[in-house]
């Protein structure tokens, strides 16, 4: 049966304190508080710097058993290497602790820069290089270089689990049918991104799952989603789930602090997600 998960992009936002997070809630408890109210969270810090296995292990311990993290891929792969000659960069990223999440490792998100057009051969090669199981991920991670010291690397998988990948594109050339065909061939989801009209929107699912990023309905990264917008997204997501596809949806309209509230509102419409406790 298809599973729908709705969550937020990151959880450390000072502006949420005293609003979503109750006044006086210790910062170290913010992840547990958020994870009790949504069923998944995107890790954004991994986009900017390599993490540590101990950090991922702590996040795993602080969240419910049925929780998953989507982990954002390194910008060194997408924005610096621009998908070219990425083997070492991919190995370093995958060795940086993702395996410590165990069964809580959800999709890996690769966000491409708006200046990167579709190169079918390069895109195909990149998608082909992505590991599809934790054992394949571990095998690739073992090839990390000295940019990631051995004491900070995790290259052993505790169990054989599937690994999913989603790619968020922002250059208009990716609206070509060839991009979707390549993604579908490799079982990768092209992200359906709501960017308040800033970037092209790819509609439809290309893998066996859907991945949605809600950056803003009318204002990029700001404002909230009204009832009309939430109803429309609930209908669309329900349709994909009815086709047998798992769906992951994340709110990234964090500037005004609306993301967690919109995520919980969408969960209610979809009948999914945890039952929020009465107190924090």
* pLDDT at 167 exceeding the cut of 60: yes
91's CB contacts (< 8 A; 6+ apart) are 140, 141, 142, 143, 144, 145
* pLDDT at 55 exceeding the cut of 80: yes
Q: Average of pLDDT values for 30-57?
A: 98
CA distances from 96 to 50, 56, 106, 246 (A): 6, 9, 16, 27
pLDDT: which is higher, 255 or 209: 209
Mean pLDDT over the full length of the chain: 96
What is the spatial distance between Cα 271 and Cα 241, in angstroms, rounded to a whole number? 12
The length of the chain is: 280
Q: What percent of the chain has pLDDT over 90?
A: 93
* pLDDT at 280 exceeding the cut of 80: no
Which pLDDT band, with edges at 50, 70 and 90, does 255 fall under? confident
| DSSP-derived 3-state class of residue 188 | coil
CA 99 to chain centre: 16
* pLDDT at 279 exceeding the cut of 60: no
Domain positions in the chain are: 4-270
Which pLDDT band, with edges at 50, 70 and 90, does 19 fall under? very high
For 143-155, what is each residue's pLDDT tens digit? 999 999 999 999 9
Q: What is the model's pLDDT at position 267? A: 98
Q: What is the model's pLDDT at position 180? A: 96
With contact defined as beta carbons under 8 Å apart, do 127 and 29 qualify? no
Q: What is the model's pLDDT at position 112? A: 98
Q: How many Cβ atoms sit within 10 Å of the Cβ of residue 36?
A: 15
Q: Which CATH superfamily, name and number, covers 4-270?
A: Protein of unknown function UPF0759 (3.20.20.410)
Q: Average of pLDDT values for 68-72?
A: 98
For 214-248, what is each residue's pLDDT tens digit? 999 999 998 899 999 999 999 999 999 999 999 99
DSSP one-letter string for 57-102: HHHHHTS-TT-EEEEEPPHIIIIISTTSS-HHHHHHHHHTSGGGGG
* pLDDT at 63 exceeding the cut of 60: yes
Q: Which residue has the tokens 């995107």?
A: 42
Strand-pairing partners, residue 133, are: 162
Phi, psi of 71 (to 5 degrees): -115, 125
Which pLDDT band, with edges at 50, 70 and 90, does 277 fall under? low
Q: Average of pLDDT values for 180-197?
A: 96
């Amino acid at each position: 049966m298809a599973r729908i998960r709705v969550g937020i992009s990151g959880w450390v936002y000072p502006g949420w304190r005293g609003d979503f997070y109750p006044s006086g809630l210790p910062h170290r408890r913010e992840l547990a508080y958020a994870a009790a109210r949504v069923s998944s969270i995107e890790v954004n810090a991994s986009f900017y710097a390599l993490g540590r296995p101990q950090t991922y292990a702590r996040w795993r311990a602080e969240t419910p058993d049925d929780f998953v993290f989507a982990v954002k891929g390194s910008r060194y792969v997408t924005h610096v290497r621009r998908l070219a000659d990425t083997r070492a960069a991919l190995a370093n990223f995958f060795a940086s602790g993702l395996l410590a999440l165990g069964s809580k490792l959800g999709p890996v998100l690769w966000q491409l820069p708006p200046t990167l057009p579709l190169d079918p051969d390069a895109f195909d090669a990149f998608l082909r290089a992505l590991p599809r199981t934790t054992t394949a991920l571990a095998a690739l991670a073992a090839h990390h270089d000295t940019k990631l010291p051995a004491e900070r690397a995790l290259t052993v998988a505790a169990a054989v689990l599937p690994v999913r990948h989603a790619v968020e594109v922002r250059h208009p050339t990716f609206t070509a049918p060839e991009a979707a065909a390549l993604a579908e061939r490799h079982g990768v989801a092209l992200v359906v991104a709501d960017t308040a009209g800033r970037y092209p929107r790819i509609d439809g699912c290309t893998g066996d799952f859907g991945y949605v990023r809600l950056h803003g309905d009318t204002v990029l990264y700001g404002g909230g989603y009204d009832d009309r917008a939430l109803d429309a997204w609930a209908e669309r997501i329900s349709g994909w789930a009815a086709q047998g596809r798992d769906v992951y949806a994340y709110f990234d309209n964090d500037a005004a602090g609306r993301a967690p509230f919109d995520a919980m509102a969408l969960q209610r419409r979809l009948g999914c997600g945890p039952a929020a406790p009465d107190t924090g």
